[in-house]
Amino acid sequence: MAADDEVLRAVEGSLDRPSAARVYDYFIGGNHNYAIDRAFGDKVRARLPLIPDSAVACRQFLGRAVRYASKSGIHQYVDIGSGLPTAGNVHEVADEARPEHDTTVVYIDNEPIALAHSQLLLADTADPDRHRAIAGDLLEPIDLWERVGETGVIDFEQPVALVINAVLHFIKDEQQPHQALDFYRDQLAPGSFLIMCQLTDENPADDEERRALDDLKAYYETTTNPGQYRSREEFLKFYGDFELVEPGLVYAPEWHPDEKALFADAPSKSRILAAVARKP
């Protein structure tokens, strides 16, 4: 699927600063990034050597959470802020977990490059009757949810797994993410899942790590996606009255770990909080 002129102009306008989505792609070994993103990623790695592994830990958590949801009977996914396509996309993991291949997925991103590459990926590898990639902004929930409905692949009367993975730490409280999450939770049918993770600076190992985390936040202020850390208590508010799936809100490597999980011996070093919750 070729990008139209509007998308191309938006892509060109996004290349003067590093993009969090493209830096994340660089960290997890993707190839949809540019020199400006790699230079920024190398700067971050030099200051916090574990951050690229933390990005991988986010992706690993996503895979485990999708497998869990799929085996629990969920066959509809809405992935907001899906980022750039790489190995282990939601539709791939879900189809592997559900051999019936009855899973429907809508990928949503507001970054032109991420959207364009997602559309190309789906055109080449996915089922257009079950998998779609659309433009949308998490912070414009009514418009986004209408666009999801217009795809025709999600039945809002049935349970949905809403995925917001490695996104919220790029959204500041003054942008009102809590109001957006309130809206999304209200739209979901009973039995739906909410899958999220968030970077935290809570309980640093020592003063050096505290300074390094402060530097990381300052670095991202120069990108297209400045954001904020959150504590466990702050992050938990995004789940509202949903019921946390065991083991609850934990560091990402602790959530249903497998043999591939990074930071298995020291989960807090990942700096990633994660949880899956179910709507009563």
Q: How far apart are CA 110 and CA 120, in angstroms?
A: 16
- Give me the pLDDT at residue 87, please: 66
Least confident piece of the model among 86-90, 191-195, 258-262: 86-90
Residue 160 vs residue 1, higher pLDDT: 160
Assigned token pair, 195: 């899958």
pLDDT band at 205 (very low <50, low <70, confident <90, very high): confident
Domain of 30 in residue numbering reads as: 1-279
Percentage of the residues of the chain whose pLDDT score is greater than 90: 68
DSSP H/E element including 274: strand 272-278
pTM of the model: 0.90
Q: Domain with 148 in it: what CATH number?
A: 3.40.50.150
Q: How confident is the model at residue 111 (pLDDT cuts 50, 70, 90)?
A: confident
Total count of domains within the chain: 1
pLDDT at 32 over 80: no
Least confident piece of the model among 1-10, 44-53, 132-141: 1-10
- Given a cut of 60, is residue 5 above it in pLDDT? no
What is the spatial distance between Cα 50 and Cα 31, in angstroms, rounded to a whole number? 20
**258-261: long-range contacts (C-beta < 8 A, 24 or more apart)?**
258/64, 260/60, 261/57, 261/60, 261/64
- Give 34's pLDDT tier (boundaries 50, 70, 90): confident
Q: Tens digit of pLDDT for each residue in 78-102?
A: 999 987 667 678 999 999 999 888 9
Q: Is the dihedral of CA 123, 106, 67, 157 positive or negative?
A: negative
Residue bearing the bigger pLDDT, 276 or 109: 276
Res 9 pLDDT > 60: no
Q: What is the pLDDT of residue 7?
A: 46
Q: Are 138 and 180 in contact (CB under 8 A)?
A: yes
For the segment 217-245, the average pLDDT, to the nearest whole number, is 94
pLDDT at 12: 52
